[in-house]
Amino acid sequence: MDRSEKLRALLALHVVGARLGRARDFSALVELAGPRLLAHARRLTDEDETARDIVQEAWVAMARGLHSLRDDRAFLPWALAIVTRAAARELKARIRTRETMAELARQHAEPCADPPDLGTAIKELPRGQRAALALFYLEGLSVAEVATALAIPPGTVKTRLMHARHRLRALMTGDDNGRT
């Protein structure tokens, strides 16, 4: 059993206890899944404070909806989907001008002489690609689980992963003629 399978099994055990009303099991869910949910919210929002607010809102929704979770081992993708929806609501509420200005600034920035490190290159990816890449490679979720977490079809996950890999390759090799 690999690390992600062990985590899924442990989370499932605590889901059962939390559903029965045991506060220590819900606390264990927060401790085990919280950092992953926060990292996901940060990737989606690019803001620490906003990410913390989103995750807090998501935990309230999870506490209320835990009884609706049909597969206890699917807690993490289910929780990630709740965070994704909360982040989407937050992002829709933002002023579009701010995002437009940031994109214009990125497009007109002078290219670096040296290729960026991987972390910097990942930050250059669009939010959707960055989220799919992190959930698939860093969190070890399957394509189907990433699709559930991001509330998109599996084919879209595959497309985002493909574009993210191509973009990262271009950024890392310095073979980036503008946007790819």
Q: Please name the CATH architecture into which domain 1-94 falls.
A: Orthogonal Bundle (1.10)
What digits encode the pLDDT tens for the residues 20-51? Answer: 999 999 999 999 999 999 999 999 988 899 99
How far are the Cα atoms of 53, 79, 155 from residue 74, in angstroms, in the given order? 23, 9, 20
Amino acid at 165: R
What digits encode the pLDDT tens for the residues 61-111? Answer: 999 999 999 999 999 999 999 999 998 888 776 655 555 666 666 666 655
Distance, in Å, from the CA atom of 145 to the CA atom of 79, rounded to the nearest integer, reads 11
Q: Which pLDDT band, with edges at 50, 70 and 90, does 180 fall under?
A: very low
Domain ranges of the chain: 1-94, 111-180
Residue 98 has a pLDDT of: 57
Does domain 111-180 fall under CATH 1.10.3720.10? My reply is: no
pTM of the model: 0.67
Average pLDDT over the chain reads 85
